[in-house]
């Protein structure tokens, strides 16, 4: 803090205190969970095979028969996806610094280092939120860009119908057996996994409206009270893990962890979009092998052609006349599910 003259009367003094920052909330649940197995690639697209194996039980045979049962061929299908690119630019000129006061101080002049740091921070936050947004879309089985383009509709690619992988909890009806609804979701996910092994913990990310309807439902209310009262330490531990990423409420019941994730993003056209629609949520499964994938392409620079891509690139360059500094951020990231049938949609129609 610094003692300085008041803005209204130069003969009076005032205490200049810390600045107040108003920055959009930064959400990062999926970025922080490490759910997606991300790799760099030296190309701008990827190709992958889907190898379908049907396991059939063996019949009883005569022990003297030779080759009584023939093996079955695997079904191999090939798919390709393009990696989307994102670029952001900013510039600094002498007018951004000369004669300007540094924010949060009464009379300190602005500096180039401070302006660069602030602009880089703003670019980084935009990039992080873009990745979080795309990962949220990916766990729904249909990855799209913030500008609205569909990047990878995994249901359509694999010939599946989105509406076949959802459960209406009907939470507006007091007689609904919610326990049976949860069991239905768990059994459907386990049956559709087809990973060749066991799956891990099932979690459901949902909007606050669905969470509130669930935890106040007549058949669940007592279980929720017991959870928040008897399991205080467990709840605190879980919240301490997830709340830093934007989760403020959670409830585990019948082996499924429900998390209220009220993320909201500002789209390129300055409209806002919530992570999940009202009374809606989607499942994610930990421990399932290679279900959530991410790929990062190379930068669009001559020196980086055919090099393995990184998650993000940032450059700052000053022109030869020392009159302008350009800041550029690039990233090429694609996120998708190899098992969209594990993206089980839960919702309440009333």
Residue 96 in domain: yes
Structural contact between residues 152 and 142, judged by C-beta atoms closer than 8 angstroms: yes
Q: With 90 as the cut, is the pLDDT of residue 123 above it?
A: yes
pLDDT at 303 over 70: yes
DSSP string, 188-243: HHHHH--SSS----EEEEE-HHHHHHHHTSTTTHHHHHHHHHHTHHHHHHHHHHHG
Residues 6+ apart with CB under 8 A from 9: none
Cα–Cα distance for residue pair 267/145, rounded to 1 Å: 10
- Collapsing DSSP states into helix, strand and coil, what is residue 304? helix
CATH for 97: 3.90.1690
Q: Is the pLDDT of residue 218 over 80?
A: yes
Listed range (62-76, 98-112, 179-193) with the worst mean pLDDT: 62-76
Give me the pLDDT at residue 231, please: 59
Among the residue ranges 9-13, 118-122, 308-312, the one predicted with the least confidence is 9-13
For residue 175, pLDDT beyond 70: yes
Per-residue pLDDT for 108 more than 90?
no
Name the helix (H) or strand (E) containing 268.
none
Are 32 and 55 a contacting pair, CB within 8 Å?
no
**Mean model confidence pLDDT for the chain:** 89
255 within domain boundaries: yes
Residue 95 lies in a domain: yes
Q: Which two tokens stand for residue 80?
A: 């390709």
Residue 270 domain-assigned (yes or no) = yes
Task: Count how many domains the chain has.
Answer: 1
6 in a domain, yes or no?
Answer: no
Confidence at residue 235, expressed as pLDDT on a 0 to 100 scale: 63
Instruction: Look at residue 106 and tell me whether its pLDDT is greater than 70.
Output: yes
pTM here?
0.89
Q: Which range of residues forms the domain containing residue 266?
A: 32-54+75-350
């Amino acid at each position: 803090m610094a003692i300085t003259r008041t803005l209204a009367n130069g003969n009076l003094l005032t205490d200049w205190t810390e600045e107040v920052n108003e920055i959009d909330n930064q959400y990062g649940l999926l970025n922080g969970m490490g759910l997606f197995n991300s790799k760099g690639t030296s190309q701008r697209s990827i190709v992958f095979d889907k190898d379908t194996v049907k396991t059939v039980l063996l019949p009883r045979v005569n022990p003297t028969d030779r080759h009584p049962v023939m093996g079955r061929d695997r079904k191999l299908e090939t798919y390709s996806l393009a990696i989307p690119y994102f670029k952001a630019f900013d510039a600094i000129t002498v007018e951004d610094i000369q004669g300007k006061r540094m924010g949060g101080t009464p009379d300190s002049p602005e500096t180039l280092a401070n302006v660069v740091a602030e602009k880089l921070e703003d670019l980084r936050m935009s990039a992080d939120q873009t990745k979080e947004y795309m990962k949220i879309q990916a766990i729904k089985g249909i990855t799209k860009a913030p500008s609205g383009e569909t990047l990878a509709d995994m249901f359509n690619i694999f010939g599946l119908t989105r509406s076949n992988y959802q459960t209406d909890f009907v939470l507006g009806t007091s007689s609904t057996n919610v326990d049976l609804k949860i069991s239905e979701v768990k059994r459907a996910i386990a049956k559709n996994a087809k990973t060749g092994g066991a799956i891990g913990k099932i979690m459901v990310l949902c909007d606050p409206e669905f969470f509130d309807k669930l935890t106040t439902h007549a058949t669940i209310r007592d279980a929720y009270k017991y959870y928040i009262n008897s399991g205080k330490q467990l709840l605190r531990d879980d919240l301490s893990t997830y709340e830093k990423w934007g989760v403020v409420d959670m409830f585990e019941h019948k082996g499924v962890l429900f998390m209220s994730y009220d993320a909201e993003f500002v789209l390129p056209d300055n409209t806002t979009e919530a992570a999940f629609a009202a009374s809606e949520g989607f499942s994610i499964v930990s421990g399932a092998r290679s279900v959530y994938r991410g790929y990062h392409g190379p930068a669009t620079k001559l020196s980086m052609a055919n090099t393995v891509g990184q998650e993000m690139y940032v450059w700052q360059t000053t022109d030869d006349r020392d009159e302008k500094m350009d800041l550029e951020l690039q990233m090429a990231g694609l996120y998708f599910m190899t098992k969209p049938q594990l993206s089980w949609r839960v919702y309440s129609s009333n």
